[in-house]
């Protein structure tokens, strides 16, 4: 069991899966990519063979031997404990808290409000139009980005926190990808834009990009 | 500065503030309670004297000397580093990941969708009625509680993870308080109900309860 490669259950467009992929590639962990299509067949995350792995039916799910972990914060924390190089959460308690705070503005402040399920609920239960769902998503993204930009004014160097890539960058880049897809003008957030331009040149971020996964459709 | 007590900027009804208060009381940290009323005066979190402390205008905010930390996950991680007893995040990497996963189902899976700002946006931008907002909140709460109940079937002992209180319990109890306020029937989640009954008897949880804060109104 311990000889087997770990697996990542992932969907190419899922923002949280993208975070997990970046962390895996930064740490150069050899893993098996298991595609779970969130729309095809009524959502493959509800299929019995995936529910047997993770009864929660969520991606990303990381499987390492007996350990089955979902939630990107939990996965990245686990990777950081088991494969500490390069370290994504700083060891100094105050720096570490600042990086977690930044990640959580994205993880709990933006992403839960712009995801697929929420859009579906807005349409189904509240009769929201496509334009209203887009405006909702843009609104919560812009509000979160305003907070991130303020933090970056104090913390940014080459990357979000000084000169080393941290978990903050791992969370930022997928949020920027989503924001661009939503038509948010990221030029209005110059520090986010500058860091995004740099991160998009880093090999691990390129490998993890939604356009470059085994389940990315050809036309993407 | 290091001689000064740390401060918690808190609102008695805020679920994330409640989490921070539980952790502070569990660790018996002597702190100053600074009340920030999220509704009075158009929201005191937008007032200049609070923005001078935290430009993000969010509660909870924990101030320890020069360190100003918001986001409950970041605050509790910081407390766990600086005041390690009792430890809320296990040290074993797999157990730690499971506890973080549980916390994040609440922190990013439930709470962001049921908070004050989201309710206001549903009403203002989408013309949702009070009943629709309540149904929205109940729906996302029930969906999250179903996931938590499944996890607890594997992990629960006296508390969420075995016999020791962990961060999972610190996140669960405020979520149960919100759920009850929303009219969710927690009897339908027997493990959550059982753990809630136990936690509500623990001194630190009583001290942290919304009904028992300096800013709790008399009629509460």
The ipTM (two decimal places) reads 0.94
What does residue B81 show for φ and ψ, rounded to 5 degrees?
-75, -45
Average pLDDT over residues B6-26: 96
| CA distances from residue B188 to B142, B145, B194, B199 in whole angstroms, order as listed | 10, 10, 11, 18
Interval A183-196: pLDDT, tens? 999 999 999 999 99
A residues 80-109 near B, CB within 8 Å?
A: 81-82, 93-94, 96-98, 100-101, 104-105, 107-109
Q: What is the pLDDT of residue B2?
A: 53
- Kindly state whether B181 is in contact with chain A, defined as any CB-CB distance less than 8 angstroms: no
Per the CB < 8 Å rule, is B104 touching A77? no
Let me know if the fold of B9-86 is the same as that of B93-205: no
Per the CB < 8 Å rule, is B113 touching A111? no
Q: What is the pLDDT of residue B185?
A: 97
Q: What is the pLDDT of residue B101?
A: 96
Residue A148 distance to chain B (closest CA, Å): 9
Interval A19-38: pLDDT, tens? 999 999 999 999 999 998 87
Res. B220 pLDDT band, cuts 50 70 90: low
B138: left (phi over 0), alpha (psi -120 to 50) or beta: alpha
Per the CB < 8 Å rule, is A132 touching B125? yes
Instruction: Select the residue of B74, B94, B136 nearest A104 (Cβ to Cβ).
Output: B74
Give the C-alpha separation, B47 to B43, whole Å. Answer: 7
Give the C-alpha separation, A45 to A37, whole Å. Answer: 7
Search chain A and give the residue with CA nearest B84.
Answer: A93
Per mean pLDDT, which range of A142-146, A161-165, B3-7, B109-113 is the poorest?
B3-7
Give the C-alpha separation, B1 to B196, whole Å. Answer: 38
Give B95 or B47, the one with higher predicted confidence.
Answer: B95
Residue B126 distance to chain A (closest CA, Å): 7
Query: Sign (positive/negative) of CA torsion B95, B100, B101, B106?
Result: positive
Packing angle of the helix pair B167-181, B130-155 (nearest 10 deg): 150
Taking alpha carbons only, the member of A5, A115, A6, A50 closest to residue B97 is A6
> Which residues of chain B have a CB within 8 Å of the CB of A6?
none
Instruction: Select the residue of A101, A109, A121 nearest B74 (Cβ to Cβ).
Output: A101
> Which residues of chain A have a CB within 8 Å of the CB of B113?
112-113, 118
State which fold the B93-205 domain adopts.
Glutathione S-transferase Yfyf (Class Pi); Chain A, domain 2 (1.20.1050)
What CATH number was assigned to the domain covering residues B9-86?
3.40.30.10
The number of beta carbons lying within 10 Å of the beta carbon of residue B157 is 11
Per the CB < 8 Å rule, is A100 touching B82? no
- Kindly state whether A132 is in contact with chain B, defined as any CB-CB distance less than 8 angstroms: yes
Q: Which of B101, B135, B141 to mutate to test the interface with A (most CBs of A within 10 A)?
A: B101
Res. A40 pLDDT band, cuts 50 70 90: confident
Q: Enumerate the domain spans of chain B.
A: 9-86, 93-205
Q: What is the pLDDT of residue A41?
A: 75
Taking alpha carbons only, the member of B173, B168, B164, B170 closest to residue B152 is B168
Residue A9 distance to chain B (closest CA, Å): 16
Per mean pLDDT, which range of A156-165, A181-190, B2-11 is the poorest?
B2-11
> Which residues of chain A have a CB within 8 Å of the CB of B97?
67, 69, 74-75, 77-78, 81
Class of domain A7-86: alpha beta
Residue B165 distance to chain A (closest CA, Å): 19
Q: Give percent of chain A with pLDDT exceeding 90.
A: 85
Average pLDDT over residues B110-124: 92
Q: Give percent of chain B with pLDDT exceeding 70.
A: 98
Search chain B and give the residue with CA nearest A143.
Answer: B56
Q: Which of A71, A92, A95 to mutate to test the interface with B (most CBs of B within 10 A)?
A: A71
Per mean pLDDT, which range of A134-138, A195-199, B22-26, B36-40 is the poorest?
B36-40
Pairs across A and B, CB distance < 8 A: 118
The answer to whether A155 and A95 have CB atoms below 8 angstroms apart is: no
Res. A220 pLDDT band, cuts 50 70 90: low
Res. B1 pLDDT band, cuts 50 70 90: very low
Q: What is the pTM of this model?
A: 0.95
- The mean pLDDT of chain A is 93
Interval B157-196: pLDDT, tens? 999 999 999 999 999 999 999 999 999 999 999 999 999 9
Taking alpha carbons only, the member of A63, A75, A66 closest to residue A17 is A75
Q: What is the pLDDT of residue B82?
A: 97
Give the C-alpha separation, A16 to A112, whole Å. Answer: 10
């Amino acid at each position: 069991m311990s000889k087997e490669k770990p697996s990542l259950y992932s969907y190419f467009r899922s923002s949280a899966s993208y975070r997990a992929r970046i962390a895996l590639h930064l740490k150069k962990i050899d893993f098996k990519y298991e595609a779970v299509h969130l729309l095809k067949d009524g959502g493959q995350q509800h299929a019995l063979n995936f529910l047997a792995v993770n009864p929660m039916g969520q991606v990303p799910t990381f499987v390492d031997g007996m350990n089955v972990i979902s939630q990107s914060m939990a996965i990245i924390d686990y990777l950081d404990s088991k494969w500490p190089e390069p370290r994504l959460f700083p060891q100094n308690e105050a720096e570490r808290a600042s990086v977690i705070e930044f990640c959580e503005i994205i993880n709990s402040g933006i992403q839960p409000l712009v995801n697929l399920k929420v859009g579906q609920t807005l349409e189904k239960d509240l009769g929201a139009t496509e334009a209203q769902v887009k405006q909702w998503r843009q609104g919560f993204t812009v509000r979160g980005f305003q907070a991130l930009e303020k933090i970056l004014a104090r913390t940014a160097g080459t990357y979000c926190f000084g000169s080393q890539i941290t978990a903050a960058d791992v969370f930022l880049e997928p949020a920027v990808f989503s924001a661009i897809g939503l038509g948010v003008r990221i030029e209005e957030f110059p520090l986010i834009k500058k860091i995004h331009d740099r991160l998009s040149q880093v090999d691990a971020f390129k490998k993890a990009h939604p356009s470059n996964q085994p389940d990315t459709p050809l036309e993407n």
